[in-house]
A and B are shown apart, each in its own frame.
Chain A
Amino acid sequence: MIAVLAGVLALLALGGVGMSRSRRASGIVYGVSLLLSSALGLVGLHALLAAGPETVALPLGLPWVGAHFRLDALAGFFLLIINLGGAAVSLYAIGHGRHEHDKARVLPFYPWFLAALDLVVIADDAFTFLFAWELMSLVSWALVLAHHRAPGTLRAGYVYLVMASLSGLVLLLAFGLLAGANGGYAFALMRTTRPTPGIAGLALMLALIGTGAKAGLVPLHVWLPLAHPAAPSHVSALMSGVMTKVAVYAFVRIAFDLLGPPPAWSAVIVLLLGGASACLGILYALMESDLKRLLAYSTVENVGIVFIGVGLAMAFQASGFALGAALALTAALFHVFNHAIIKTLLFCGAGAVLSATGERDMDRLGGLIHRLPQTSVAMLIACAAIAALPPLNGFVSEWLTFQAILLRPALPQWGLKLMIPADGALLALAAALTAACFVKLFGIAFLGRPRSDAAREAHELDRFSRAAMLGLAAISLLVGIFPGVLVDVLAPVMREMFGARLAAQTPLPWLSLIPVAASRSSYNGLLVFLFIAFSTAATILAIHRVTSRSARRAPAWDCGFPDASAITQYSGASFAQPLRRVFAATLFGARETVTLPPPGDMAPARIEKALPDPIWDRLYAPFERLIGRLADFLNPLQFLTIRRYLVFVFLALVSLLLALALSQ
């Protein structure tokens, strides 16, 4: 516990080093961040496996509350995730950060961001928690604005700041409700007091809004695809891979730890939002051609999957089915781990592409597998993992989520009985669309022929960046092959939350994964991996044995059009067109218009697509207009005379006094 606080302090101090204008500051900041993150990650792992929670109270902050910190299994697990991601990104940034042209806008904030993330998960009272939460928001906002001259960044920062304030405000209200009239702001007090069902439900919904706005849950996700891509790539990796996970942590902490068993109706809402996020997120991603925005939308989808798991756990807990709750939350936390690894890797890869070519638009990339072979291998593994292909880690968590969904008959409530299969369908759809989306990403950006000179002349990155990406890919593969280890590591969290855990997985023969019962379902990543490896090797051997050994290079078949330009290849938009027609036409109101010139006219034919965002148009735009109108209405208040301001003060005072007199 002391070690964690010391680490956080060291990170905060490191921000001071980042302010120096020395040329070596970049290497020092990222190098030391790497060391500190590794150490903190190990501490997290130790806390996860250690016996009981550790607490520390410091006389800081509010005088009558103090600052409480607690390191239990849940906090340990998230500390592990944060610092695993933090260490990988720091290693990546030792190399990648050198290309940053405005270092003074990134270096001081980067270690602070890591420190704030760590601080959120060990906070044990509402004040410390909200302080860390706001520090996290504010520092990440500063990082988003690092490239403030790029078009759209200022707007992204503004929308992010508004949504972050909303999240902070709503969480403040939620903690206020939890603390009750006596002001028990320490989490230890909140655990022992049980609010009335009405208050508990309200606090839970506020917590859902507050954490959902940070995690990027539909319809609170609007800032995410703006802000995450606007930041420097390694910061995007942290924001998408790690910060959204901290929001999940906050929700899990409030829903399962601070509140008692949740009401069943709240599980329905969480499931609904989770399913909607999963599907809409990946549909948005499919329509996107900007590499980093696509990844950000994919984050929305994965957060949806995590919240489906969390909602299932709430449903099972509401009906007292501890084993089901443990399975569902294990699936959710497993996915949290997976997504942290994969999305960090994907954003690092996108950063590599960006610094190699200067392009984020997929329709100007292509053929990068020849220019960036190692990055391509890492990205291929990440794409396969996020598309949930066995034997990689992404498959395991989605499979576990489905296992939890299949436990549905154990539930008595009709609302849940109807909602959970619907979520299962949405999850299956999202998984399929994810596969399509990442086939598109890899196929368009890395395969084919280069669509621009920048892509044609791309160069592989430095050793540090490649090591970070390949390391993350290796973790992804290893966790996929030995999923039982992670499930067992999560067992203390489940025991803490529900008093129940899944059966131990590591002693099972052949390292199988059997979440409920062997007669029901089992998965063996090791066997799948060995099968794939052997069959691939055998096929290659067979082909080489049977066919000629000499490789021939011949021109690709050009459909009878010699010298085809590279832009006649399939583009991202054309790849997504069938799906856009099927889903987006009704859901988003996407329209295509084809303009053919009349015969004899030499003008080119044009195809134009319009892709409105109904969530922004229906939900946010009216708000924006309302606030604009209110501001216009109140504007004259800024130009009153002193005497009139005095009249306002006077009238406010008198009316308050009157209210007081009347209420007595």
Chain B
Amino acid sequence: MHAISFDVAKLLAGGLVLASFLMIYQVRLLAMLNVLGGHAFILALAIAWQAHVQDAPELYITAAITLIFKAALLPEALRRIVIRLGIHREIENVTSLGAVMLAGVGLVALSLEVMLPVTARTDPLTRIDIALALSVVLLGLLMMVTRRNAVSQVAAFLSLENGIDLAAAGAEGMPLVVEISIAFSVLVAFLVVGVFLFRIRERFDTVDMRALDAFRGDRK
């Protein structure tokens, strides 16, 4: 294996983790959606690079699907939703961003610590990809947990899904059927969530999840 292919793969996977951090830090919705697009774009690059390294042409199709759907269509659609909801100027109130960022750093360290020994005997290319993919998944979860706005939770979920994609592409080359089905499931999830966002807004005049809590009587 060429050193350069290894380095590039590492760079792209690391870029994905960096993009996750950017998303966690970004409190303005439109900017965050831009970062989400960038996130998926880096993922598409990473998959394409895997296709090149593994000499697996079907991964190019995966990369293309990722580029079209996740990097272009989904953020754009979410942007339209945000604008139609009229919350594009809102600044989300996230408590103690610094602590969340520190926790994210801890999670990345943890996933490296867990994954590197487990995958010690596999291909180094796969190894670093899987470790960083786990970090992306954990960061996505962290973001879902810390955000209260429904749109940012959806974005966090999509970034989490990107992490899974990265791991799958790095491991063996993902079968196309799996990829297409995942793409469809994301699309369906997006549609359902989009509908729900409007329904929630209709009823509560906001997409802040705290309103739902209050409605259930959890918070007075």
Binding site for B on A (CB under 8 A): 639, 641-643, 646-647, 649-650, 653-654, 657-658, 660-661, 664
Identity of the chain B residue whose Cβ is nearest the Cβ of A642 in the assembled complex: B209
Contact status B145-A661, CB under 8 Å: no
Q: Would you give 8 A-B contacts (Cβ < 8 Å), ordered by A?
A: A643-B145, A650-B142, A653-B138, A654-B138, A658-B110, A661-B110, A661-B113, A664-B117
Interface set, chain B 95-119, CB cutoff 8 A to A: 107, 110-111, 113-114, 117-118
B144 contacts across to A, CB distance below 8 A? 643, 646, 650
Interface set, chain B 190-220, CB cutoff 8 A to A: 209, 212-213, 216, 218
User: What distance in Å separates the Cβ of B214 from its nearest Cβ neighbour in chain A?
Assistant: 10
Q: With an 8 A cutoff between CB atoms, is B10 at the interface?
A: no
Q: Sorted from nearest, which 3 A-B pairs have the closest CB atoms?
A: A661-B113, A661-B114, A650-B141
Contact status A649-B216, CB under 8 Å: no
Binding site for A on B (CB under 8 A): 107, 110-111, 113-114, 117-118, 138, 141-142, 144-145, 148, 209, 212-213, 216, 218
* Distance A227 CA – B110 CA, assembled complex (angstroms): 53
A650 contacts across to B, CB distance below 8 A? 141-142, 144-145
Contact status B141-A653, CB under 8 Å: yes
* Distance A642 CA – B212 CA, assembled complex (angstroms): 10
Identity of the chain B residue whose Cβ is nearest the Cβ of A658 in the assembled complex: B110
Contact status A646-B113, CB under 8 Å: no
B218 contacts across to A, CB distance below 8 A? 639, 641
* Distance A161 CA – B181 CA, assembled complex (angstroms): 41
B216 contacts across to A, CB distance below 8 A? 639, 641
* Distance A328 CA – B212 CA, assembled complex (angstroms): 70
Contact status B212-A641, CB under 8 Å: yes
Identity of the chain A residue whose Cβ is nearest the Cβ of B109 in the assembled complex: A661
User: What distance in Å separates the Cβ of A635 from its nearest Cβ neighbour in chain B?
Assistant: 14
User: What distance in Å separates the Cβ of A127 from its nearest Cβ neighbour in chain B?
Assistant: 30
Which of B111, B148, B212 sits near A657, CB closer than 8 Å?
Answer: B111
User: What distance in Å separates the Cβ of B99 from its nearest Cβ neighbour in chain A?
Assistant: 15
Contact status A649-B141, CB under 8 Å: yes
Contact status B107-A654, CB under 8 Å: yes
User: What distance in Å separates the Cβ of B130 from its nearest Cβ neighbour in chain A?
Assistant: 13
* Distance A641 CA – B144 CA, assembled complex (angstroms): 13
* Distance A642 CA – B141 CA, assembled complex (angstroms): 13
* Distance A641 CA – B208 CA, assembled complex (angstroms): 13
B145 contacts across to A, CB distance below 8 A? 643, 646-647, 650
Contact status B114-A657, CB under 8 Å: yes
Contact status B209-A646, CB under 8 Å: no
A643 contacts across to B, CB distance below 8 A? 144-145, 148, 209
Contact status A657-B141, CB under 8 Å: no
Contact status A657-B110, CB under 8 Å: yes
User: What distance in Å separates the Cβ of B147 from its nearest Cβ neighbour in chain A?
Assistant: 8
B113 contacts across to A, CB distance below 8 A? 661
A649 contacts across to B, CB distance below 8 A? 141
* Distance A639 CA – B118 CA, assembled complex (angstroms): 38
Q: Do A660 and B141 contact each other (CB < 8 Å), given the known contacts A641-B209, A641-B218?
A: no
* Distance A658 CA – B145 CA, assembled complex (angstroms): 19
7 new A-B contacts at CB < 8 Å, known A643-B144, A654-B138: A639-B216, A641-B218, A642-B209, A643-B148, A647-B145, A650-B141, A650-B144
- Please indicate which of the listed interface residues B144, B145, B213 has the most CB atoms of chain A within 10 Å of its own CB: B145
* Distance A641 CA – B147 CA, assembled complex (angstroms): 13
* Distance A653 CA – B134 CA, assembled complex (angstroms): 11
A657 contacts across to B, CB distance below 8 A? 110-111, 114
A661 contacts across to B, CB distance below 8 A? 110, 113-114
* Distance A492 CA – B113 CA, assembled complex (angstroms): 61
B114 contacts across to A, CB distance below 8 A? 657, 660-661, 664
B141 contacts across to A, CB distance below 8 A? 646, 649-650, 653
* Distance A649 CA – B144 CA, assembled complex (angstroms): 11
Identity of the chain B residue whose Cβ is nearest the Cβ of A640 in the assembled complex: B218
User: What distance in Å separates the Cβ of B24 from its nearest Cβ neighbour in chain A?
Assistant: 14
B111 contacts across to A, CB distance below 8 A? 657
Which of A641, A646, A653, A660 sits near B213, CB closer than 8 Å?
Answer: A641
Which of A639, A641, A647, A654 sits near B110, CB closer than 8 Å?
Answer: A654
* Distance A409 CA – B48 CA, assembled complex (angstroms): 83
* Distance A664 CA – B118 CA, assembled complex (angstroms): 9
User: What distance in Å separates the Cβ of A651 from its nearest Cβ neighbour in chain B?
Assistant: 9
* Distance A647 CA – B110 CA, assembled complex (angstroms): 18
B117 contacts across to A, CB distance below 8 A? 664
* Distance A650 CA – B107 CA, assembled complex (angstroms): 11
* Distance A654 CA – B110 CA, assembled complex (angstroms): 8
* Distance A294 CA – B47 CA, assembled complex (angstroms): 73
User: What distance in Å separates the Cβ of B193 from its nearest Cβ neighbour in chain A?
Assistant: 12
B118 contacts across to A, CB distance below 8 A? 660, 664
A660 contacts across to B, CB distance below 8 A? 114, 118
Identity of the chain B residue whose Cβ is nearest the Cβ of A660 in the assembled complex: B114
* Distance A660 CA – B119 CA, assembled complex (angstroms): 13
* Distance A657 CA – B134 CA, assembled complex (angstroms): 11
A641 contacts across to B, CB distance below 8 A? 209, 212-213, 216, 218
User: What distance in Å separates the Cβ of A296 from its nearest Cβ neighbour in chain B?
Assistant: 48
A646 contacts across to B, CB distance below 8 A? 141, 144-145
User: What distance in Å separates the Cβ of B112 from its nearest Cβ neighbour in chain A?
Assistant: 9
* Distance A521 CA – B144 CA, assembled complex (angstroms): 81
* Distance A521 CA – B216 CA, assembled complex (angstroms): 80
- Please indicate which of the listed interface residues A641, A643, A653 has the most CB atoms of chain B within 10 Å of its own CB: A643
* Distance A646 CA – B145 CA, assembled complex (angstroms): 6
User: What distance in Å separates the Cβ of A541 from its nearest Cβ neighbour in chain B?
Assistant: 90
B110 contacts across to A, CB distance below 8 A? 654, 657-658, 661
* Distance A654 CA – B142 CA, assembled complex (angstroms): 10
User: What distance in Å separates the Cβ of B219 from its nearest Cβ neighbour in chain A?
Assistant: 9
A647 contacts across to B, CB distance below 8 A? 145
A664 contacts across to B, CB distance below 8 A? 114, 117-118
User: What distance in Å separates the Cβ of B25 from its nearest Cβ neighbour in chain A?
Assistant: 19
User: What distance in Å separates the Cβ of B215 from its nearest Cβ neighbour in chain A?
Assistant: 11
* Distance A548 CA – B19 CA, assembled complex (angstroms): 115
* Distance A222 CA – B216 CA, assembled complex (angstroms): 43
B213 contacts across to A, CB distance below 8 A? 641
* Distance A661 CA – B209 CA, assembled complex (angstroms): 34
User: What distance in Å separates the Cβ of B3 from its nearest Cβ neighbour in chain A?
Assistant: 28
User: What distance in Å separates the Cβ of B90 from its nearest Cβ neighbour in chain A?
Assistant: 18
A658 contacts across to B, CB distance below 8 A? 110
Identity of the chain B residue whose Cβ is nearest the Cβ of A651 in the assembled complex: B145
